[in-house]
Amino acid sequence: MNFVGSHILSVDQFVRADIERVFTVADMMRPYALRQKVTRVLEGAILGNMFFEPSTRTRVSFGCAWNLLGGEVRETTGIKASALAKGESFYDTARVLSGYSDLIVMRHEKSGSVAEFAAASRVPVINGGDGANEHPSQALLDLYTISRELADHGKTVDGMTIALVGDLRYGRAVHSLCKLLAAYQGIHFSLISPEALKLPDAYVELLRNHGHQVFESDALPTGIQQADIVYVTRTQEERFDTLEEAQRYKGIFRLNQAIYTEFCEPNTVIMHPLPRDSRADANELDNDLNDNPNLAIFRQTDNGVLIRMALFALILEVSDQVEASSRAVNWYTAKRF
């Protein structure tokens, strides 16, 4: 694909070579994310960071990624704080805000809303999550993490076994990840969810049509056996008609150290898009895994900065200028990775 000036709305836009291109640029961004070097390639540029649904890491890491490239961030959080609450259309909001920004990241609860917004925007728009539909930058950072973690154990994405656990119906991170993984070869998918929260048929068919093996079950212990990656998700309570309905599925699957020790391989990598729901009635990923070296959840969040820097650099055509304009940092830098 041609990244320059493009919207990033769906992972459907990427072929495997595009994914690898993002990963190569992400690797190059590591010294900047680690505060070993500074670059100002986006000096003077403004990011419109518009989050109409709750967010911590996606919003802040997009903002940090832009800042680390030298740009400024303008943020809108929550519908109530924007003129959308006064009945303004996506069209008008997009026309207005694209006059103030060089690139916009948007998250909204409605599937397709970011594409509708992008159609009226005069600058590139990245989908930061549109309802239960897609979350492309999350899928890229997840796949980047998977490939790096597997490489540490001499394995590849091609041929791996991945267990996806939890709310596979409404989880947009899982939806985008499945589409990205479809481009790889010979993957064994173990889909573990309650019947009512199964991965929608379209995704299962997509994976099977690409030659992957898909097993569906509602049992965690058997489902996670032999997995190279266990990717746990939160019940997306905000997408259910009622909280009572969501409540039925919370806490059904709980991964903790005892279950990990009994059923996982010694080096099974544990992932989660986060936030993990740590309330007692849910607790899908227990805190007793925090010291497990195979818990990759905070490597995922760190990698999110690299991936988002890479997307910005590719879309705004500065990836070749980053090195040339770099210098060493002159403040104390803590070790992060």
- Indicate whether 129 belongs to the interface with ligand NCD (CB under 6 A): yes
In angstroms, what is the minimal distance from the CB of 268 to ligand NCD? 21
Instruction: Indicate which single residue of 39, 49, 58, 113 sits in contact with ligand NCD (rule: CB under 6 A).
Output: 58
Residue 10 or 58 with smaller CB distance to ligand NCD? 58
CB atoms within 10 A of CB 121: 24
Chain centroid offset of residue 249 CA: 23
Closest among 140, 188, 193, 187 to 169, alpha carbons compared: 193
Residue 61 or 319 with smaller CB distance to ligand NCD? 61
Instruction: Indicate which single residue of 10, 138, 161, 176 sits in contact with ligand NCD (rule: CB under 6 A).
Output: 138
In angstroms, what is the minimal distance from the CB of 277 to ligand NCD? 8
Cα–Cα distances in angstroms (integers) from residue 141 to residues 49, 85, 117, 119, 257, in the given order: 19, 32, 24, 25, 25
- Indicate whether 308 belongs to the interface with ligand NCD (CB under 6 A): no
CB 91 within 8 A of CB 120: yes
- Indicate whether 234 belongs to the interface with ligand NCD (CB under 6 A): yes
In angstroms, what is the minimal distance from the CB of 17 to ligand NCD? 26
For the window 61-80, what string marks contact with ligand NCD as x by the rule CB under 6 A?
--------------------
First to last CA, the chain: 31
Both tokens of residue 38? 């500074």
Q: What share of the chain is helix, strand, coil (3-state, %, to 5)?
A: 40, 15, 40
Instruction: Indicate which single residue of 57, 110, 210, 254 sits in contact with ligand NCD (rule: CB under 6 A).
Output: 57
Q: How many CA atoms within 13 Å lie on the side-chain side of 98?
A: 19
Query: For residue 213, which phi and psi values (nearest 5 degrees)?
Result: -95, 130
- Indicate whether 166 belongs to the interface with ligand NCD (CB under 6 A): no
Q: How many residues bind ligand NCD (CB under 6 A)?
A: 11
- Indicate whether 177 belongs to the interface with ligand NCD (CB under 6 A): no
Residue number, nearest CB to ligand NCD: 234
- Touching ligand NCD, residues 254-273 (CB under 6 A): 273
- Indicate whether 175 belongs to the interface with ligand NCD (CB under 6 A): no
Euclidean distance between CA atoms 96 and 117, whole angstroms: 11
- Indicate whether 172 belongs to the interface with ligand NCD (CB under 6 A): yes
Closest among 319, 11, 322 to 139, alpha carbons compared: 11
Residue 63 or 70 with smaller CB distance to ligand NCD? 63
Q: Which residues form the interface with ligand NCD (CB under 6 A)?
A: 57-58, 129, 135, 138, 172-173, 234, 236, 273-274
